[in-house]
Structure 1
Amino acid sequence: MFEHFEVTITPLNRKRMVRIYLPKSYHHNEEKSYPVLYMHDGQNLFKDEDAGFGVAWGISDFLEKSTIELIVVGIDCNNEGFKRLDEYGPWKSQVFHELLGETGGEGKDYIDFIVRELKPLIDEKYRTKPEDTSMAGSSMGGLISTYAACTYPHVFRKIASVSSAYWFNQAEIEDLIKQSDLSAIEKFYLDIGTHEVTEHIDCKRYVESSEAVYSILKEKVKNCRFEIIDEAVHNEAAWKKRVPTIFSYLFS
């Protein structure tokens, strides 16, 4: 079952669609509460017709067939120009300076909104387990999910960072992980494909970027899993194939 509604990201004064997936049993067992997974790029998670490039992750299809029961909260990305880079970038970046100028830097406000405004709203509106909250995202969504794990490790206990664009803020995210107490994180999944390319970021940089982050994370998080997926590219169709692995690892 799906519900959706519009919210205002208060610190940024922007309206945004939030898409909610409720498990099959939600309205049949009114005594039961559920863990919650927050995900970025919400328009690309559930239905192909909503997805930006015509293929969704198919998360609801997978959950309908599995024994995993959780509420998924998908927050649409900002499709205005290159604002997605700004919202999912925790720090300013010069990576695309020649093309776009300075980008990023709004990630803190975005994550603060999720923790301080959206999560309390979801916990009030639905039967959630407030202490059992996770976050996942791909590409820039993986970067901002890792940032959220470091800044709110007692809120987001399980993290999936898929095909992450760590290169956008490489030095900063590595330093933050080193400085963070991540002992409260229960599970951390990250992966990268060997054929991932975007703009002028080649596959070698993608792999080396994630390898560098994993080398730090594995010393900070007891249950940390890193996958290098042979020949995988950088799109929703590729991430759809990894959904069973990711969700089974985090929630089984």
Structure 2
Amino acid sequence: MYQNFEVKITPLTRTRQIRIYLPNKYEEDVTRRYQVLYMHDGQNLYKDEDAGYGRSWRIGDYLDQNELDLIVVGIDCNEGLMRLDECCPWKSNEMTEVFSAGRQSIGGEGKEYIEFIVHELKPMIDEKYRTLQDETSMAGISMGGLISTYAVCVYPHVFKRAASISSAYWFNQKEIEELIQVSDLSKVERFYLDIGTKENTESINDLTYINSNRRIYHLLKEKVQDCRFEIVEGAVHNELAWIERVPQIFGFLYK
């Protein structure tokens, strides 16, 4: 079952579509409460007709078929380079070739975006739906993986499980490594990371992605209770590759 509504991101003074997946049994047993997973790029999660590139992750179908009882909160992304602004916690000068003429950097709105999720969206979801408020996770791909890792570091008591898929850590490599090193992640139960061997995008080559993610994994595995890192042979940077990894991602987070 799906529900959609629009919210205001107060710190950034803009609105956004929220897409909710509810388990099939949600309305049958009104006493049961559920874990919640927050995911970025919400338009790409459930239905092909909503997806930006015509192919969704079909996460709702997977959860239904496997009877995995979980509430998923999908947050639509912003358009174009503004998506990168929201997903980068710090300003970055990477990939200057995609900047418009008036830009000197990209990113820097990630802090406000995560504050919106923690202080505005999560309380709204916890009030509106029957959630287990202390069992909350976050997942994202590419830049969504970067901002999910940031969120876990800043709010480890909130996001106790996370998945970071094909993450573009290189946008803020130095800053995210330094943040992980000073963060107390002892309350984080599980953290999943992966990267494909053919994930070159724009001017960024495969090895940059792999080495960037490997460095983050080596930092996280010393701090997180259960940390898993997969290098996926032949996987590229697109929805078709990510769909294939849905079972192992959810299997690890909620086994």
User: In which range does the TM-score fall when normalised by the shorter chain?
Assistant: over 0.9
CA distance in 2: counterparts of 1:182 and 1:68, whole angstroms? 26
Q: Which residue of 1 aligns with 2:167?
A: 164
* Residues 11-54 of structure 1 deviation map (CA, whole Å, 9 limit, x = unaligned): 00011000000000000110100000000000000001100001
Is 2:31 aligned against 1:38? no
CA distance in 2: counterparts of 1:57 and 1:201, whole angstroms? 24
- Which one of the candidate residues 95, 100, 104 is aligned to 2:107? 104
Instruction: Give SS of 2:49's match.
Output: helix
Q: Which residue of 2 aligns with 1:3?
A: 3
Q: Which residue of 1 aligns with 2:194?
A: 191
Q: Which residue of 1 aligns with 2:243?
A: 240
Instruction: Give SS of 2:221's match.
Output: helix
Is 2:70 aligned against 1:70? yes
* Residues 107-132 of structure 1 deviation map (CA, whole Å, 9 limit, x = unaligned): 00000000000000000000000000
Q: 195-204 or 1-10, which moves further after superposition?
A: 195-204
After TM superposition, the score normalised by the length of structure 1 is: 0.98
| Code of the aligned partner of 2:19 | R
State the Cα RMSD in Å: 0.7
Instruction: Give SS of 1:220's match.
Output: coil
- Which one of the candidate residues 120, 124, 131 is aligned to 1:121? 124
Q: Which residue of 1 aligns with 2:180?
A: 177
Structure 1 segments unaligned to the other structure (5+ residues): none
For the 8 Å contact 1:96–1:102, the answer to whether it is kept is: no
Is 2:234 aligned against 1:217? no
CA distance in 2: counterparts of 1:88 and 1:110, whole angstroms? 8
Q: Which residue of 2 aligns with 1:49?
A: 49
| Code of the aligned partner of 1:57 | W
* Residues 51-102 of structure 1 deviation map (CA, whole Å, 9 limit, x = unaligned): 00011111001001113100000000001x3100000000000002344130
CA distance in 2: counterparts of 1:199 and 1:153, whole angstroms? 33
Structure 2 segments unaligned to the other structure (5+ residues): none
| Length, aligned pairs only | 251
CA distance in 2: counterparts of 1:210 and 1:67, whole angstroms? 31
* Identity across the alignment (%): 62
| Code of the aligned partner of 1:143 | L
Is 2:202 aligned against 1:203? no
